[in-house]
Amino acid sequence: MNHRILTTTRRAALRLALTGAGAVATATTSYGGHFDLPGSTPARGYIKGPFGLLHYYDNGERLGRPLLMFHQAPMSARQFDSVYEPLARRGIRAIGIDLPGFGMSDPTPFVPRCEDWALIAPAILDHFDIARVDVLGHHTGAMIATEIGIQFPDRVRRLILNGPMPMNQEERKRRLDWVKTAEIDFKYEADGSHLASSFKSRYKMYAAAAKPEVRLITRYTVEKFMGLAPFWYGHNAAFQYDHERGLRTLKVRTLLLTNTGDQIYEHCQIARHLRPDFAYVELQGGGIDVVDQLPEEWADAVANFTAGAS
């Protein structure tokens, strides 16, 4: 790295530290591609939630419609790095939340269910002084978003379920058996080969839809292990959850959002059959990482739905 650029960046960072203003946004611009900083989130911080501290990303408090976003497991709210800025351009204040035990949020003191994670919503809204909000969840996050809509309907304006997953008991058992074998009984090898195998598995998931970006897959892999709770909490909660019941119970205005390359695309078709009254948008292509693969199209779908009146 050029010494002059390094010196200039260091001086700018020191000025920001002394003034305490705009550190994240300015640092991202100054550092360019040399650091793996979260994208386009001027504010990051913590909220005191019912299970401890909740870490969040906020793309701009001066923007219009607020949107809470909940990530898939086992990741973090950095899943939305590619869309914080596109959503801001569309007038949406996007607030990404690290679920308890994932990213940099404190874990629950027990093995959680989606119904438990939904309890964080009022604390988040009260922290930001938001009365009603649009809520979005992707995969596991979609189940939590569903529960927020059920438990706190007066606080939810519109709901976006990106990848709902209703399943029958046979499939539920099969997936929970997989959680036990592949995640709860996961073996941490002395030579670190478990990291390589996790990377290869994640690489294949992305490659099914697009040419993988190795640096991006590396981040996904690290996010799996960086949380303060066991990473299997995520899929365990997701596969325990009765999303069919949740979908039938919902009374808030809802969008079912999917993409043709999603691994659970067919589950969204089941959800569509269960709730033909819900709005539906289908993006072409992409995979489980559609937010990184089709950020502009994804942001358009979110913005178009949330633009409507209450």
Answer yes or no: do 120 and 21 share one domain. Answer: no
Answer yes or no: do 143 and 21 share one domain. Answer: no
Answer yes or no: do 163 and 212 share one domain. Answer: yes
The Cα–Cα gap between 297 and 83 comes to: 10
Answer yes or no: do 50 and 155 share one domain. Answer: yes
Answer yes or no: do 78 and 219 share one domain. Answer: yes
**Does the CA dihedral 307-258-249-116 come out positive or negative?**
negative
Rounded to a whole number of angstroms, the distance between the first and last alpha carbons of the chain is 51
- Distance set, CA 114 to CA 77, 119, 148, 155, 266 (Å): 16, 9, 9, 18, 22
pLDDT digits 0-9 by tens, 189-212: 999 999 999 999 999 999 888 888
Answer yes or no: do 25 and 47 share one domain. Answer: no
User: Given this model, what pLDDT does residue 60 score?
Assistant: 86
Answer yes or no: do 217 and 81 share one domain. Answer: yes
User: Given this model, what pLDDT does residue 139 score?
Assistant: 98
User: Given this model, what pLDDT does residue 159 score?
Assistant: 98
Rounded average pLDDT per 10-residue block, the chain, 310 residues: 41 37 32 52 89 95 89 96 94 97 98 98 97 98 98 98 98 98 97 96 88 92 96 98 98 98 97 98 96 97 89
Answer yes or no: do 42 and 181 share one domain. Answer: yes
Domain enclosing residue 31, as ranges: 1-37
User: Given this model, what pLDDT does residue 310 score?
Assistant: 67
User: Given this model, what pLDDT does residue 256 score?
Assistant: 98
The Cα–Cα gap between 254 and 125 comes to: 19
Query: Per the structure, how many domains does the chain have?
Result: 2
Per-residue burial over 111-132, b if 16 or more Cβ lie within 10 Å, else e, is ebbbbbbbbbbeebbebbeeee
User: Given this model, what pLDDT does residue 194 score?
Assistant: 97
Answer yes or no: do 15 and 80 share one domain. Answer: no
Answer yes or no: do 267 and 126 share one domain. Answer: yes
User: Given this model, what pLDDT does residue 49 score?
Assistant: 97
- Distance set, CA 223 to CA 115, 144, 273 (Å): 23, 19, 34
pLDDT digits 0-9 by tens, 264-304: 999 999 999 999 999 999 999 999 999 999 999 999 999 99
Looking up residue 269, the CATH number of its domain turns out to be 3.40.50.1820
Answer yes or no: do 113 and 53 share one domain. Answer: yes
Question: Residue 258: which residues within 8 A CB-CB, separation 6 or more?
Answer: 162, 163, 265, 268, 281, 282, 283
User: Given this model, what pLDDT does residue 2 score?
Assistant: 45
Q: Position of tokens 């990051």?
A: 44
Answer yes or no: do 161 and 17 share one domain. Answer: no
